[in-house]
Each structure stands twice: as structure tokens, then as C-alpha cells.
Structure 1
Amino acid sequence: MTDKSQSSPAAPITEAGFRADLDALLASGKNEPALTHLITELPRLLGTNKINRKEKLKHLTFAGRMLQGAGLGKYGPQKLERKATNLARVVKRHGLRSRRTFVDLGCGAHEPLGLATYFYVNGFEKAFGSDFMPVSDAAYAALSMADILTDMYIFPETYMMDGTDLDSYLARIKNFDLGALKRGDLDAGLARVAHNVEFKCCDIVEAGIEPGSVSFLISYAVFEHVMDIPGVTKHIYDLMEPGGLGFHYIDLADHRAYRHDGDYNEFSFLTEEDCAPNLNRLRASEQVAAFKAAGFEILENKPKQKPIPEETHKRYLPRFAAMSDVDQSAHAMRLVIRKPL
């Protein structure tokens, strides 16, 4: 008698089938299933007797790059291009007093100097990435930098900001040691630009950046984690030059909603007295008020709203239930600020 509780063996897998399925998923925009396919099916493929080990390397290399191009990676030109294009539009709309110093606040541990490199190559004297966390993997960060710089060199029309001189742009790219970066040596790759492009692993208040020197300071998904909002906004105000520009994307959502178990939505933490200790739960108007209190002028304030699940809305804490519809339903916001002249 057959034991039906045991699952039947998985169907055999071939290299051609593996790649065809991956291509089909990517072509139809099913990027997360494509990533799952790569992770789960590649070990099965490697278990076959006829696998060509060089083909294994090709699958790992090119499938990974295809997924990066689909927006699922933390590294590389695709990620940089999206952010840089957005920031270049902000600069074009509002202008810069100078290209003295750029700061990427909360630059991240995976690829800390991608944006700093972009702004240095576009003429900034100094460009810093600042984060509490050390670089998670220096070799991967170096390889990603090599990809970024190669892409920037080949496609200057994609990466050059208005007002950037092409000869200077290309010369600054050549200041990096691309060979060292391709070997995975981040320090050697940055050695010739060490005084111009720098990662600062510390609190921004301890970064040693010259007050009054910052022309453009940006952050992505940082200020929802800042507990001393008055102290930090005042400090970055002091760092910026008169007329200095700032861009901040603030993620106002409950970050537990990004898990895949479905137990939380973007607004769950507005129903709880105690929640994750690294989220301040400030709503859109409160974030704006903090920057205003520090002395900044608000140039753009664009909250992103979405419907609140009814069961969640009914359980809002009194503090949040009394707020405006925007404050209750905003899950993210874009903020552009300027230090007055």
C-alpha cells in the first residue's frame, strides 16, 4: 500500500528548462517568483549528473544580473540610476548654490558610496556616505562600484547632470582604480579619491563634516528611525550652507508590513501602545514641523496615501485617531527643503 503522505519526487530539471522558466517569469513581470525560482531550482539543477560547472557560473552571474535589472537587487547601476535620476530632477527644479559637499545620510551598508560617486563625478568637491552600519561586504560593494563606474563611462548621457562638463566627468571616473574594484578591493579602488569620496561609519553628528559646507543632503528611509528629531534636524541645518538643498524620502509605514507572513499592514503600529523600538511613528505633518522648527524652508511636501484597512482604522490609538486624514493614511512622503539664505 502506497504511503500517500509522502510527496512525489519532483520532476527532473534541465539547464534549458531552468533558463526558459526564469526568462518567462521575468518577461511577464513576475520578478519575485523569478527570484524564488533562482533560489529553489538552481540547487536542484546542480544535483544533476550532467550539469556543466561553467554553465552553473553563467546561471549565477547572468540570472542575478537580470534580477538586478528587474529592481530586486541592492547593488549596481540599476538601483543608482533610479535614485540619481530622481535627485537630478529635484536639483533641476530648485537649483544648487554650489557643488561643494554632498551627503547621503543613512547611505546603507550594502552599497554606501553609489550616490556619493555619482555626485562627485558630477562636480562636487566632496561626497560622503554616512551610516551607523559598517559596509556589509566590501568585495561585493567594490564589484558593484566597478559596474556603476563602467556604466557611467559608457552612458554619460544617462548620468551627467545639467551643468556638468564632459571632460571633467570622464576624468573623475578615471580617478577610481577600476581594476582594483573589479578584484573586489574597495579600499584600493577608492584610494585615489579618498579625500573626495568617503564613507563615514558613525552618527551624522559625529561625522566631522564642516559646518556650513553641505550643498545637497539627502536621505532615503532614514527619518522614520530618528529618535532625536530636533537634535538631528538642527545638526543637519548647521551642516548646510545658506541656500543648501535637502531631499528626504521618509517611509511612514509599519516596517513589519514588508514581511511575507501577512500579519501586519502599513498602519498596524498606529494601533499599539508598544511597537518596534526603532520607529518613531511620526506622521507626515509632524515630520514637516520638525524640519520647519530647525529653520528649513519647505519646497515640496508630497505624502503618499493608501486606504486604511477598516479593522485597523477602528483600533487606532487616540493620538492617531485625532489626526487629519493625510496623517492617518500616509505611508510615505517626499520632502524637499532648503536652508534660507
Structure 2
Amino acid sequence: MPMHPALQSQPLAPVLDLLFAPDPEPALQALVSAGLLQPEQLPAWRTARRPVGRAADNGDLATQAKLLVDAQAGQRGKLAPSEPLAVLGQLLPLLQAAHSQGLALDAAARAQQRVLDLGAGLFYPLSTAALLHANGVGEAWAYEPFAVQPEFAEAALLELQRAVAREPERFRCFPDSPPAPELKARLARLDLHRLAERIEELNQGRSERVDLGGVSLFQRPAALPEQQLDWVFSNSVLEHIDDLAGALAWQRRLLKPGGWAFHTVDFVDHRHYFDRSLHPLQCLFDGVLDAINGLRPSQMEALFMGAGFACYKRQKLQLPAGLLDAAPPFAPRFEALRGRPELYEWVNGYLLRSPG
């Protein structure tokens, strides 16, 4: 996930200081010196600065810093409506492949379906589910185990509503999606009353669900009913789960018999996206797995089948041929992998079907 261009080559320390330091002035001046803020923006930053709170517990400080800079610079960053479109851009080819194997996706079928966005994100946790619901899915749920920033979730939904109002055809994701007026109306009917307060209640464990009417947000696995879902999907989530076997068993319990799971998995070292001096497989060289579980495709696929799923694989991106020719030495525990073709598998899509 590339960073905001203004942050691409700048140190993040001043921004992180701004997030947490009791006195923001040194960090603000450092941001001005780095060219990330204009002097005339300082009063607004001083007024608007808020503590990040529990969302920082996820450790994604660079993303939070990016969002703060985006918000103040007039950029939308991850709150942009292009984010749920990008997620659905990864999902739709997998849905189409499942459709060829019997998954009903016509408008009448979608109206009866209940689906789950697994690992929906900290900053736009409801947007992809809301867009699926607008496109005719009966109930679209979102699950995000970490506390989310209510302001970001609210702003992302409002931005999605505005974008769909401006360009509804851009957001029609299926050939038989509702016409533009109904697409907009389905989003407009979502209950956003006290949304920020309700999300904060969810963060604090004082509620189990934020229900917008056709779209819901969950944070605890136990709050999701078993054998109620027609399909589950995720985008660049499974590579971050340490107990993947447990997570797959949980998905089996949530799905109806014969239900589907669709997952896009990014296998390269994620530090590569923020530091282009690193090799995409640097984790294999230095033995450091930065926020990812380090499972290779064959290992992950074995877990899929071990959980009882039928597994269908769709390769999306390959690393360039010859990338490893000039690679530094592997860490000893990865040396046996050298030369394996699967090391070049960058992004894979998986269709998993539970027993019928």
C-alpha cells in the first residue's frame, strides 16, 4: 500500500511525535520544515489535534500518520471511495469464478444473501459492506477486530455517499445492479444516527454490533451467528493472521453448508511498499516477518484444505522473472526455499468452498 506522495521520502518521526507528544509544537515545526505543512495551516492543526487512542494498538502508525497528513492537506487518502471499489475489484473476479461453479449472483439471489467483509479495516470498516448492500446484497456485514476511529468510519461512509450521488454508474458493480436512483437510495437509507457514538460503544465492549440497516459492524467473533453466511471475503488479511488454522475453522462455522470464502492474499514483505530499498522477499533474507505470518502459498493452501475447504487458486500477480538471481543470502531457515517457483507468487486469489 503506497504512502501519500508527501510522505514517501520524508521521515515519519515528526508526525508520530505529533500523535503522541504532550507538546505538539516541536513536531508541528518539524512538519513545516519538512514541507508537509504550510505555516498558515498551523492554527488548524493545533485546534484539530486529537489523541489517536486505541486504534494505535494495532501498530499501524504510518497509516495513521498518513491519514492525519491527508486530512489536513485536503487529500482523502484511505477515506476515498476508491478504496471500497479497489476491494471489490479484487473480489468480483473471484465471485465470477464461483458463479461458474454454481454460486447464484443474480439480483434475486443477492437480495437473499448475507455476506461478511473479514478484516474490514480500521478507517473505512463499513464502506465496502455498504457498497455491496447498495448493489443489492441483502445483508452485508463487516468484521474488524481492532478498535476503529469513529470519525474516520463516519467520514468514509459520507464520502462514499457523496461519490455515489455524483457518479452512480461508476459504483454499479454487477451487470444487474440496481439503477442509479435505487443505488443512491439504498445508501441514503442507512441509519447513520449517532454513528460515531455507536462505534465508540462497540470499541468499549458496551455493544456487540453497530447496525445501520442492511449493513453491520462487528468486533467480536462470538457476536457473529454460526451457519448464517452465504460468503465471506477478505483483501490482504489472511497473511496477517498468526492462528490461520483457527481463523479458517471459525469461517467454516460462520458459513452455511456449501458456502464460499474468497480471499486475496499478498505474500511479499509488506515493508517493501513503504521502503523501496528493501527486496520484496526481504523477510526471507533477514528472518524478520513484519506484520505478516510469513506463510508461503503452499503452506497456506495446505491449511485451507486441512480446514475442510475445497480450494481453487487464481494467481493475480507474479514477481518479475529472475528477481532472485542477485538476491542476498537467505536466512538459514529459508535456505531450502531457494529456487522454488512459489516464491514468485506475489498476489493470489483463493476460492474456498465449505462442504455442502
Could you say what secondary structure the match of 1:107 adopts? coil
Match of 2:86 in 1: 82
Q: What amino acid is aligned across from residue 125 of structure 1 in structure 2?
A: G
After superposition, what is the alpha-carbon deviation per residue over 1:265-304, rounded to whole angstroms, capped at 9, x for unaligned? 221222345x347432110111122112222222333163
Bigger mean CA deviation after superposition, 305-314 or 107-116: 305-314
Retained in 2: the 8 A contact 1:214–1:239? yes
Superposed displacement of residue 113, structure 1:
0.7
Structure 2 residue 137 is matched with structure 1 residue 124: yes
Asked if 2 retains the 8 angstrom alpha-carbon contact of 1:102 and 1:119, the reply is no
Answer yes or no: is the 8 Å Cα contact 2:191–2:213 preserved in 1. Answer: no
Residue in 2 that maps onto 1:292: 305
Distance 1:277 1:74, change over 3 A: closer
Equivalent residue, structure 2, for 1:252: 267
Q: d(CA) in 2 for partners of 1:86 and 1:109?
A: 19
Q: How does 1:69-148 map to 2 (within 5 A)?
A: 73-95=77-99, 96-97=103-104, 98-99=109-110, 100-135=113-148, 137-148=149-160
Match of 1:64 among 74, 77, 85: 74
Quick one: distance in 2 between partners of 1:268 and 1:35?
19
Kept after mapping to 1: 8 A contact 2:90/2:235:
no
Q: Distance in 2 between matches of 1:130 and 1:289?
A: 25
* Partner Cα separation in structure 2 for residue 229 and residue 187 of structure 1: 27
**CA distance in 2 between partners of 1:235 and 1:124 (Å):** 22
Pair 1:308–1:299, CA change in 2 (3 A): same
Q: Which residue of 1 aligns with 2:284?
A: 270
Report the CA distance between 1:85 and its aligned residue: 3.4
Task: Determine if contact 1:84/1:115 at 8 Å carries over to the other structure.
Answer: yes
Measure, in 2, the Cα distance between the counterparts of 1:153 and 1:309: 48
> How far does the alpha carbon of each residue in 1:182-217 deviate from its partner, in whole angstroms, 9 at most, with x for none?
xx77769xx995353222123xxx243222221221
TM normalised by structure 1 equals 0.70
Matched, 1:158 2:199: no
1:196 aligns with 2:214: yes
Paired with 2:92 and 2:231, the residues of 1 have a C-alpha distance of: 11
- Give the aligned residue type for 1:258: Y
8 A contact 1:213–1:241 mirrored in 2: yes
Structure 1 gap segments, 5+ residues each: 1-29, 49-59
Flag the 1:47–1:144 CA change in 2: closer, same or farther, 3 A: closer
- The answer to whether the 8 A contact 1:106-1:219 is kept is yes
CA change 1:209–1:162 in 2 (3 A) is farther
Change (3 A) 1:278 1:105: same
* Structure-2 change in CA distance of 1:248 and 1:320 (3 Å): farther
Amino acid at match of 1:139: E
Q: Percent identity?
A: 22
Kept in 2: contact 1:101–1:213 (CA 8 A):
yes
2:188 maps to: 174
Structure 1 Cα separation of the partners of residues 307 and 210 of structure 2: 37
Matched residue SS, 2:74: helix
- Secondary structure (helix, strand or coil) at the match of 1:111 reads coil
Pairs aligned (count): 286
Aligned residue identity for 1:32: P
Describe the superposition over 1:291-331 as per-residue Cα deviations: whole angstroms up to 9, x where unpaired. Answer: 12222222333163324444545325355524663322333
Per-residue deviation, residues 170-190 of structure 1 (Å, max 9, x unmatched): 432221257977xx77769xx
CA RMSD of aligned residues (A): 3.6
The letter of the residue matching 1:64 is G
Alpha-carbon spacing, 1:62–1:268, altered in 2? closer, same or farther (3 Å): closer
Does structure 2 conserve the Cα–Cα contact (< 8 Å) formed by 1:142 and 1:186? no
SS at match of 2:96: helix
Partner residue in 1 for 2:317:
304
Aligned partners of 1:249 and 1:333 also within 8 Å: yes
**SS of structure 1 residue aligned to 2:263:** strand
Which of 233, 236, 255 is 1:218 aligned to? 233
Q: Residue by residue, what CA displacement relative to the aligned partner does 1:24-55 show, whole Å, maximum 9, x if unpaired?
A: xxxxxx9725977997446345289xxxxxxx
Q: 1:317 to 1:305 in 2, by over 3 A?
A: farther
1:303-322 equivalent positions in 2, closer than 5 A: 304-306=317-319, 307-310=322-325, 312=327, 314-319=329-334, 321-322=336-337
Q: 1:229 Cα shift?
A: 2.0
Structure 2 vs 1, CA of residues 308 and 74 (structure 1 numbering), >3 Å: closer, same or farther?
A: same
1:144, 1:270 → 2: CA distance? 36
- What letter corresponds to residue 46 of structure 1 in structure 2? E
Select the structure of larger CA radius of gyration. Answer: 1
**Counterpart contact for 1:284–1:326, Cα < 8 Å:** no
